[in-house]
């Protein structure tokens, strides 16, 4: 990684390095140290799009990996690669769907990074798309505490990106949706009125997550 940073002006050299590791780029992204090499190539090569083209098919798998998720997050915060990465993560089917990514420990980091990377130009449409995917997730995924963290982040993004005060729909929160689990409580978003943009859900969900 030191070589990449020192030679960041040598674009041809870095392009050659990307070509050299092309066949093993997914394995490198999953490696404890190799993921740093890929991250530096994204930042310093001057052609992050070349990296994302090689990684697109494996992004959903990398999102759920202990080290690979860092590479996906790096791509999400690169303006040149973010749109392709977002579309790939939201368009994939099981067993690496966005809902399944959100319900895993490392995948939840990527899902929240995706939400954080959204801008005002097209962010609201994507945030609502994320919400639709999550609200239709199978019941076993909705039991995951990581899923709930992502759901709250998505709801917050919807409110933030619309820049409008959300009404307080106390009646949209079904207290019966709370049930004891693992010493705490689990919130079941399916029992809520997901189509209504309500602060009540966020307020209660945050309390649950802190419990």
24: number of Cβ within 10 Å: 11
42: number of Cβ within 10 Å: 23
Classify the phi-psi angles of 196: left when phi > 0, otherwise alpha if psi is within -120 to 50, otherwise beta. Answer: beta
User: pLDDT value at position 41?
Assistant: 85
Q: What is the mean pLDDT of each run of 10 residues along the chain (211 residues)?
A: 48 61 89 92 81 92 97 94 95 95 97 94 91 94 94 89 53 36 40 44 51 47
User: pLDDT value at position 205?
Assistant: 54
The angle at the Cα of 160, spanning 157 to 164, to the nearest 5 degrees, equals 135
Beta partners for residue 186, in sequence order? 179
User: pLDDT value at position 176?
Assistant: 36
The answer to whether 205 and 176 are in contact (CB under 8 A) is no
Rounded distance between C-alpha atoms, residue 128 and residue 182, angstroms: 30
Rounded distance between C-alpha atoms, residue 128 and residue 116, angstroms: 14
Q: In the chain, count of helices (H) and strands (E)?
A: 14, 2
User: pLDDT value at position 132?
Assistant: 94
> Where in the chain does DSSP place strands (E)?
179-181, 184-186
User: pLDDT value at position 16?
Assistant: 59
User: pLDDT value at position 204?
Assistant: 53
């Amino acid at each position: 990684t030191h070589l990449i940073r020192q030679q960041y002006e040598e674009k041809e050299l870095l392009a050659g390095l990307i070509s050299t590791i092309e066949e093993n780029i997914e394995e490198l992204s999953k490696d404890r140290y190799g993921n740093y090499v890929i991250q530096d190539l994204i930042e310093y090569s001057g052609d992050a799009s070349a990296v994302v083209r090689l990684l697109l098919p494996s992004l959903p798998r990398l999102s759920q990996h202990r080290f690979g998720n860092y590479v996906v997050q790096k791509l999400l915060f690169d303006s040149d690669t973010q749109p392709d990465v977002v579309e790939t993560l939201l368009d994939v089917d099981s067993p690496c769907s966005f809902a399944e990514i959100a319900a895993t420990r490392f995948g939840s980091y990527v899902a929240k990074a995706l939400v954080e990377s959204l801008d005002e130009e097209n962010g609201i449409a994507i945030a609502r798309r994320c919400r639709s995917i999550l609200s239709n997730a199978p019941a076993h995924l909705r039991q995951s505490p990581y899923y709930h963290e992502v759901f709250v982040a998505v709801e917050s993004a919807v409110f933030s990106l619309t820049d409008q005060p959300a009404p307080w729909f106390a009646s949209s929160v079904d207290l019966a949706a709370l049930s004891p689990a693992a010493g705490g409580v689990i919130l079941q978003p399916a029992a809520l009125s997901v189509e209504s943009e309500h602060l009540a859900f966020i307020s209660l969900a945050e309390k649950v997550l802190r419990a």
